[in-house]
């Protein structure tokens, strides 16, 4: 993914972008229901300020739908269900469609059993993990989403080869008056896109970002580009990315390691991506209203702590995104013009109805 | 906890140390069954090379049992059970007794429901999280153990105050021929004990280890000692430590933040520590034997990757500990003499049987 310099901006209403994107994905062959899921996912990410996972990706997603890497018509199916667990096969549907179905099922199972684990295989890139974890918080439950990344870009600790993804996960917890706590992160120090951008602009990179192809830490963006991204917290981030790969992919025999295909470079190839959705129904342990009040108090306690120099406010995970969302939902989503133009070209090519164009 | 320089070492057989410790905890008022649980926990940690969580802690644990902070006679009870979840009250028993019961129950529930979540409250310091996670791997299941730390030593990201613990967690996965994958880590860059040791030896500390009391990064161990430990991976480690506190303590109304008492400084005070145990029964998703074979292949793939300069071997989480365990179980556990002498003094004071002394 690329970083954008917001030289020229355009502000667009959430609903209009949503309808526009829905029309694009329907034109790419998806049903109205499935296209709605993808459109909602992408526009939500943008509204939260997570532009790297918003409609910026429509270009690669539609390319995969056109070239056969992802099947626009596929419907996920439940392959196995045992107690509070299930195995869902995405059947190569869009990742958002498969992952949402997995979390929908995990929430239903947690209503019955108090907790649940739904393993998803045969899926694709799912967008942001936060989206699924927050499906659970809307039901006043705790949601966890693990996914393997669609590309190997990290070496094991002590290694020099691209053998692992910077596999992301999200954990979301409901509060009462305050916004959800949403921890959504990848296991590299920074997104690979930042190294790509530094290479483009011939800028050096911090020593913590990447290893060169021999496994040496480097400040040279070119060398880092051809090497590997460094795990956050060194061996701890490596350990977490491996655990994430196990939970999301090895558990259900989805692609891992040598069988991973590259999301960007191989749009014609089936990815067989895996995820794991876990839910905890708070009411099974304690009254969820009392819990959410305790969460509000915990957040207030942290925010009222003594601040480090030059810090104006202490934030909890997901708070900045929630604030951005509230503003952009009200005032429109501010996009870099390049993203809109790229999507306009796609919409034109798909010949979507004039009334839905932006 | 202190670091020890292995100037003088003593090698002792696992079984003898175990019987010795069991006798000490029985003398401190525990039943034979409960004392066995604690002794096994501590000697296992030592055998795995995790000396910071072994019999080094018998001094503080027995102090707490004597001064009333922990109740040697207390028995955990199940307060609530709903589907695949339960709430266990430790009733102020030793953390190992309460946490083991929680994981025992989580394993039983996962046999019936495929996955489980057991929340533990009214507990104490549980030792190493790995121990509980590995209860699950012995049943060919995936085990997760979250716990809040017994003391606030970390600031929230952007903060300068001790408001959070460096809350540890463990995630363990069974393999087939290879040892379990065991990720067990705290959420600070290093254990606070390393800063304590640097202060004692008047050595500088790396800039990444601590903040001073105003929230500035520092290389001065004295300033770091009076300040806070830094989260691993900056805001990512902060996010994880908060999530861990929520899962283990806020979920079931155990101590958090302002109500945390210090494990070391306040041995007479009840801690009301919380944990969360999660289990995934692999057979609910896929055949666990096939899964464990895939795990062996995944580990071999990582270990056979290209190595960085001066790296002789790539390890997976828990592998070094498993290797140390195999050796020390066979050849005896190598202890620094200071740890043994401290325990000898305790054994003498408790007047444990001559035949069990070491």
Please indicate whether, in this complex, the C-beta atoms of A298 and B173 are within 8 angstroms of each other. Answer: no
Same domain, residue pair A115 and A181:
yes
Domain total in chain B: 2
Judge if B143 and B239 occupy the same domain.
Answer: yes
Q: Tell me, yes or no, if A158 comes closer than 8 A to chain B by beta carbon.
A: yes
What tokens appear for B163 in the block? 């408001």
Backbone angles phi, psi at B194, to 5 degrees: -70, -35
Determine, for residues A280 and B251 on separate chains, whether the beta-carbon distance falls below 8 Å: yes
Q: Rounded to a whole number, what is the largest CA-CA distance in chain B?
A: 56
Q: Determine, yes or no, domain membership for A81.
A: yes
SS3 A207: coil
> What pLDDT score was predicted for residue B131?
98
Instruction: Name every chain B residue with its beta carbon within 8 A of the beta carbon of A114.
Output: 82-85, 117
Rounded to whole angstroms, the Cα distance separating A136 from A144 reads: 8
Sorting pLDDT into bands at 50, 70 and 90, what band is A5?
low
| Helix (H), strand (E), coil (C) string for A240-293 | HHHHHHHHHHHCCCCCCHHHCCCCCCCCCCCCCEEEEEEEECHHHHCCHHHHHH
DSSP code string of A130-175: HHHHHHHHTTT-EEEEEE--SS--BPPTTB-S--B----EEEEE--
**pLDDT confidence bin for B5, thresholds 50/70/90:** low
Contacts with B192 (C-beta within 8 Å, 6 or more apart), sequence order: B153, B166, B229
Domain shared by B281 and B167, yes or no: yes
Q: Assess A94–B contact: CB distance below 8 Å, yes or no.
A: no
| Best mutation target, A246, A279, A288, A321, to test chain B (most B CBs within 10 A) | A246
Check if B115 contacts A (Cβ < 8 Å): yes
Phi/psi of residue B118, nearest 5 degrees: -115, 120
Same domain? A177 vs A281: yes
Asked if A171 has any chain B CB less than 8 Å from its own CB, the reply is yes
- Return the number of CB contacts < 8 Å for A and B: 256
Pairing state of beta strands B85-89 and B77-82?
Answer: antiparallel
From the list A243, A252, A253, which residue is nearest B183 (CB)?
Answer: A243
Any domain includes B23: no
Inter-axis angle of helices A95-113 and A32-47, to 10 degrees? 90
> Does A293 lie in the same domain as A161?
yes
How many angstroms separate the CA atoms of A81 and A66, rounded? 33
For Cα atoms B230, B234, B238, give the angle at the middle one, nearest 5 degrees: 75
- Between residues 197 and 256 of chain A, which touch chain B (CB distance below 8 Å)? 211, 214-216, 232-237, 239-240, 242-243, 245-247, 250-253, 256
Q: Is A309 on the interface with B (CB under 8 A)?
A: yes
| pLDDT tens digits for range A249-297 | 999 999 999 999 888 888 999 999 999 999 999 999 999 999 999 999 9
- In the three-class reduction of DSSP (H, G, I as helix; E, B as strand; rest coil), residue A229 is classed as strand
Q: Is residue B73 included in any domain, yes or no?
A: no
**Residue A119 touches partner B, C-beta closer than 8 Å:** yes
Q: Check if the beta carbon of residue A152 is closer than 8 Å to that of residue A165.
A: yes
Q: Which of B84, B164, B280 is closest, CB to CB, to A113?
A: B84
Which residue among B304, B320, B347 closes a domain? B304
- The answer to whether residue A22 sits within a structural domain is yes
Whether B157 and chain A come into contact, CB under 8 Å, resolves to: yes
Q: Domain of A203?
A: 189-230
Q: Is residue A319 part of a domain?
A: no
Neighbours of B259 (CB within 10 A): 11
User: Which is more confidently placed, A3 or B103?
Assistant: B103
Where do we find the tokens 């050849």?
A: B331
CATH code for the domain in which residue B168 is found:
3.30.1370.60
B239 lies in some domain: yes
* Long-range Cβ contact pairs of B346-349 (< 8 A, separation 24 or more): B346/B24, B346/B58, B346/B59, B346/B62, B347/B20, B347/B23, B347/B24, B347/B27
The pLDDT score that the predictor gives to residue B1 is 41
In a domain, A9, yes or no: yes
Domain with A10 in it: what CATH number?
A: 1.10.1530.10
Residues A94, A131, single domain; the answer is yes
Which residues of chain B are within 8 Å of residue A216 when distances are taken between CB atoms? 308-309
Say yes or no for a CB contact (<8 Å) between A305 and B171. Answer: no
Domain boundary among B257, B281, B304: B304
Closest CA of chain B from A122, distance in Å: 14
Q: Does the global pTM surpass 0.90?
A: yes
B223 and B102 together in one domain: no
Q: For the residues A97-126, what does the mean pLDDT come to?
A: 98
In this structure, how many other beta carbons lie within 10 angstroms of the beta carbon of residue B222? Answer: 14
Q: What percent of chain B has pLDDT over 90?
A: 93
| A139 within some domain | yes
Could you tell me which residues come within 8 angstroms of residue A109 by beta carbon, excluding any fewer than 6 positions away? Answer: A84, A85, A86, A116, A118, A279
Residues A195 and A210 sit within 8 Å (Cβ to Cβ):
yes
> Can you tell me the distance from the alpha carbon of A95 to that of A30, in angstroms, rounded to the nearest whole number?
13
Widest distance between CA atoms in chain A:
56
- Among B172, B202, B230, the domain boundary falls at B230
Residues B180 and B135 in one domain: yes
DSSP code for B122: E
In a mutagenesis test of the A interface, which of B305, B316, B318 is the best target, namely the one with the most A β-carbons within 10 Å? B305
Contact B313 A158 (CB under 8 A): yes
Q: State both tokens at A217.
A: 């830490």
Tokens found for residue A21: 């994107």
The enclosing domain of B206 has a CATH number of 3.30.60.50
Average pLDDT over residues B21-44: 98
> Above 60 in pLDDT, residue A9?
yes
* Inter-chain touch A302–B163, beta carbons under 8 Å: yes
The whole-number average pLDDT for the span B313-328 is: 98
pLDDT on residue A2: 46
C-alpha to C-alpha distance for A145 and A276, rounded to whole angstroms: 6
Q: What is the 8-class DSSP label of residue A53?
A: G
The SS3 assignment for A9 reads strand
Judgement on whether residues B242 and B184 belong to the same structural domain of the protein:
yes
Collapsing DSSP to helix, strand or coil, A203 comes out as: coil
Residue A212's pLDDT band (cuts 50, 70, 90):
very high
Q: Please compute the mean of the pLDDT values over residues A90-114 and round it to a whole number.
A: 98
* Same domain, yes or no: B194 and B298: no
Token digits of residue A80: 């196995």
| Whether residue B250 is found in the same domain as residue B179 | yes
B239 and B196 in a common domain: no
Q: Which tokens sit at B100? A: 């083991």
Cβ pair A346, A63 in contact under 8 A: no
- Tell me what pLDDT residue B150 has: 83
């Amino acid at each position: 993914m690329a970083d954008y310099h917001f030289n020229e901006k355009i502000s667009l209403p959430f609903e209009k972008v949503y309808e526009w994107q829905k029309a694009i994905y329907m034109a790419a062959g998806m049903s109205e229901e499935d296209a709605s899921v993808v459109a909602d996912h992408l526009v939500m990410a943008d509204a939260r300020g997570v532009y790297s996972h918003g409609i910026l990706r429509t270009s690669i997603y539609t390319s995969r739908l056109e070239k056969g890497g992802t099947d626009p018509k596929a419907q996920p199916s439940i392959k196995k269900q045992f107690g509070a667990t299930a195995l869902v096969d995405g059947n190569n549907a869009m990742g958002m469609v498969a992952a949402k179905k997995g979390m929908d099922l995990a929430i239903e199972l947690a209503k019955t059993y108090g907790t649940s684990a739904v393993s998803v295989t045969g899926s694709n890139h799912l967008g942001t993990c936060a989206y699924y974890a927050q499906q659970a918080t809307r039901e006043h439950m705790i949601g966890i989403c693990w996914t393997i990344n669609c590309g190997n870009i990290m070496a094991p600790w002590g290694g020099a080869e691209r053998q692992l993804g910077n596999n992301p996960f999200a954990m979301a917890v409901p509060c009462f008056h305050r916004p959800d706590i949403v921890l959504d992160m990848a296991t590299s120090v920074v997104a690979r896109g930042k190294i790509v951008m530094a290479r483009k602009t011939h800028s050096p990179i911090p020593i913590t970002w990447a290893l060169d192809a021999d496994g040496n830490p480097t400040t040279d963006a070119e060398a880092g580009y051809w090497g590997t991204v460094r795990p956050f917290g060194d061996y701890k981030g490596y350990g977490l990315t491996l655990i994430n790969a196990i939970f999301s992919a090895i558990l259900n025999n989805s692609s891992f390691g040598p069988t991973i295909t590259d999301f960007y470079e191989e749009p014609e190839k089936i990815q067989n991506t895996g995820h794991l959705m876990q839910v905890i129904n708070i009411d099974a342990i304690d009254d969820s209203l009392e819990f959410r009040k305790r969460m509000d108090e915990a957040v207030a306690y942290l925010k009222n702590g003594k601040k480090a120099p030059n810090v104006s406010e202490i934030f909890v995970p997901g708070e900045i995104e929630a604030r951005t969302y509230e503003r952009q939902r009200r005032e429109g989503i501010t996009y870099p013009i390049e993203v809109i133009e790229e999507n306009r070209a796609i919409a034109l090519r798909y010949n979507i109805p004039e009334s839905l164009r932006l």
